[in-house]
Amino acid sequence: MELRYPNGKKYKGKKNKAGRKNANQILYGNRGMTLEEDLNETNAYYLQEGIAVIHKKPTPIQIVQVDYQSRSTAVIKEAYFKQPSTTDYNGVMNGKYIDFEAKETQNHTSFPLHNFHEHQISHMKQVVAQGGICFVILRFAKEEEIFLLESRHLFFYWDRMLAGGRKSIKKEEIEENGHPIPVGYRPRIDYIAVLKQLYAL
Amino acid sequence: MELRYPNGKKYKGKKNKAGRKNANQILYGNRGMTLEEDLNETNAYYLQEGIAVIHKKPTPIQIVQVDYQSRSTAVIKEAYFKQPSTTDYNGVMNGKYIDFEAKETQNHTSFPLHNFHEHQISHMKQVVAQGGICFVILRFAKEEEIFLLESRHLFFYWDRMLAGGRKSIKKEEIEENGHPIPVGYRPRIDYIAVLKQLYAL
């Protein structure tokens, strides 16, 4: 959501008594925004600025019953959520294919791997095999800390779990192998800035 | 749908009296397969063979009411189809971003442009601006003729329509600027073969 004055001018945040901008404090203290909402706005910003074309895929649904009440109106009366077979986000930047999943946890010290499905890991491996850029965005909700972790690291922790190891990634491991993404205003979660450092984009 | 004998061996088609394989005649004469089904199988083949990772996006749905009957079962009781804001298919081959829409017509001599939405054309233009590979697959259902048309040509015909011109693409125009895709067995609609000729893939 972009704040604007009634005349259409963009809201840039007010100075407080100390003369310091506090727009971020207002916008980010207890905003209650989900990671998905933040990423949707980030992607809308990238699109608008011509930086990248990244979209969230629709939630996959199994439709069972549809009522065609008129020629133009179809109402879905019974449907079920399906487990996604791919990641949620993909798109293009400078011709390169970009693919990622985003998850958040209320935990403080580790990121549970049950946030991911076997199908998604398989998909990410297929993308990497085709030379795509693939990663996950992990958010520690309580601390409002966000990391980009390249998928090869996720595969390592996933395989460690399958081999009988821990069912989560330690936060120290994410700090060591991942890349922090500072939370900003526009864009909110500038993961492209991290990708530019990691890849020739 | 892949045909198999009860023992699991793949059905390759029988020889007819003239000793010629007629599997294609059996499989493709009046199969009643939709373009979407054919493309899903084509993409499954590409995925299985490690050629490309291309998926159809789920149909976008606006969910209005969900019943949580138990902890694990959520039933969607009211939802509506939304107009897609992007194309239906995208993915990656050799690191390159691939994006397309597929449509079919019962017409014989032209392809109506109302098969596409303004949003989809905008999306395709954004993809092209980011260096993605973007095209449409057009099927003349009655003749079982399929063409790949690069998006820049579609933009030309779209803009011609907006400027007051015809609301369809003549079949001769598609034949001249597009690329025929022969219908085969595995894969059914080998659009990657066309892309390999057009781009350094």
Question: Could you read off the pLDDT of B108-153 as tens digits, one per residue?
Answer: 999 999 999 999 999 999 999 999 999 999 999 999 999 999 999 9
Q: Which residues of chain A are within 8 Å of residue B80 when distances are taken between CB atoms?
A: 73-76
Spell out which chain A residues touch chain B, with contact meaning CB-CB distance below 8 angstroms.
47, 50, 52-53, 55, 57-61, 63, 73-82, 85-86, 90-99, 123, 126-127, 129-132
Q: How confident is the model at residue A27 (pLDDT cuts 50, 70, 90)?
A: very low
Helix (H, G, I), strand (E, B) or coil at A37: helix
Distance from CA of A95 to the nearest CA of B (A): 4
Nearest CA in chain B to A130: B94
Lowest mean pLDDT among A100-114, A150-164, B72-86: B72-86
Asked if pLDDT for residue A28 goes beyond 90, the answer is no
Lowest mean pLDDT among A22-26, B61-65, B83-87, B152-156: A22-26
Distance from CA of B56 to the nearest CA of A (A): 10
Give the integer Cα–Cα distance in Å for B85 and A138: 27
* Residue among B49, B57, B130 with most chain A CBs within 10 A, to mutate: B130
Q: Which residues of chain A are within 8 Å of residue B53 when distances are taken between CB atoms?
A: 123, 126-127, 129-130, 132
**B77, B98, B130 member nearest A53 (Cβ):** B130
Find out whether B41 and B55 touch, Cβ atoms under 8 Å.
no
pLDDT given at position B32: 62
Give the integer Cα–Cα distance in Å for A22 and A17: 10
| Cβ–Cβ pairs < 8 A, chains A and B | 111
Structure tokens at B43: 């993409």
Domains of chain A, residue spans? 37-58+84-198
pLDDT given at position B16: 38
Among B146, B101, B145, which Cα is nearest to B127's? B101
Distance from CA of A143 to the nearest CA of B (A): 29
Asked if pLDDT for residue B15 goes beyond 70, the answer is no
pLDDT given at position B70: 72
The secondary element (H helix, E strand) that includes residue A193 is helix A191-198
The top-level CATH class assigned to A37-58+84-198 is: alpha beta
- Provide CATH code, domain B23-58+84-198: 3.40.1350.10
pLDDT given at position B72: 72
Q: Which residues of chain B are within 8 Å of residue A98 when distances are taken between CB atoms?
A: 97
Give the integer Cα–Cα distance in Å for A48 and B178: 31
Write out the DSSP string of B111-124: EEGGGS-HHHHHHH
Asked if pLDDT for residue A75 goes beyond 50, the answer is yes
- The DSSP 8-state label assigned to residue A19 in this structure reads S
| Binding site as annotated, residues of A for Mg(2+) | 86, 88, 101, 120
- The DSSP 8-state label assigned to residue B141 in this structure reads T
pLDDT in tens, B170-200: 999 999 999 999 999 999 999 999 999 999 7
**Those residues with Cβ within 8 angstroms of residue B77's Cβ, 6 or more apart along the chain or in another chain:** A77, A78, B65, B66, B67
pLDDT given at position B151: 98
Write out the DSSP string of A90-148: EEEETTEEEEEEEEEES-SSEEEGGGS-HHHHHHHHHHHHTT-EEEEEEEETTTTEEEE
pLDDT in tens, A45-57: 999 999 999 999 9
Distance from CA of B37 to the nearest CA of A (A): 16
pLDDT given at position B24: 40
- Phi, psi of A43, rounded to the nearest 5 degrees: -65, -35
**Those residues with Cβ within 8 angstroms of residue B48's Cβ, 6 or more apart along the chain or in another chain:** none
pLDDT given at position A72: 72
Degrees to nearest 5, angle at CA A79 with B44 and B86: 55
